Amino acid sequence: MRRVKDTQTLDIFEVPAPVVPLPGSGNYASQVSELVGVVLKDCPVDRYEVAAQMSRLSGDDVSKHMLDAWSSPGRCDHNIPFYRIPLLEEVCQSHAFTDWIVHLRGGRVAYGREALAAEYGKRQQMLEKLKGEMKELKRLMGDDQ
């Protein structure tokens, strides 16, 4: 039986690297449209409610028809404006665009408790390094205790 490699689970020890686009492959318009569609599909409310909430929060008119155009790969000339993405993520309770952009740039994002755990680990490493340096200073001073 042949083993299938899991391509969906991230390896926590793998160092992320930026995606280097080949010439002519850096036009992400269709990917942006598809991602808007995924965010809207996974959203707990319908497109009419998303449009209403985006309009209310931005103070600008955002219609369901605009959402439809932004999510249509066939209408890449109507991609969502960059300044609307944080609002779309907020209303749809998503991090899809943030995660995608960070992935393209060679990073990973941590949210909530995961972010705190990462910061705690970083500071723990700093503390261990500092303890080692202090021990070395004591040794150099002749204070081997």
**For residue range 58-115, what is the model confidence (pLDDT) as tens digits?**
999 999 999 999 999 888 788 999 999 999 999 999 999 999 999 988 988 888 898 8
Q: Please, where are the H alpha helices in 43-111?
A: 47-58, 64-70, 85-92, 96-104
Model confidence, pTM: 0.69
Percent of the chain having pLDDT more than 90?
Answer: 61
Q: Does 144 or 38 have the greater pLDDT score?
A: 38
pLDDT value at 144 more than 70:
no
Structure tokens at 24: 């002519």
DSSP state of 106: T
Structure tokens at 13: 């020890």
> Cα dist. 13→10, 76, 93, 101, 108 in Å?
9, 36, 28, 20, 12
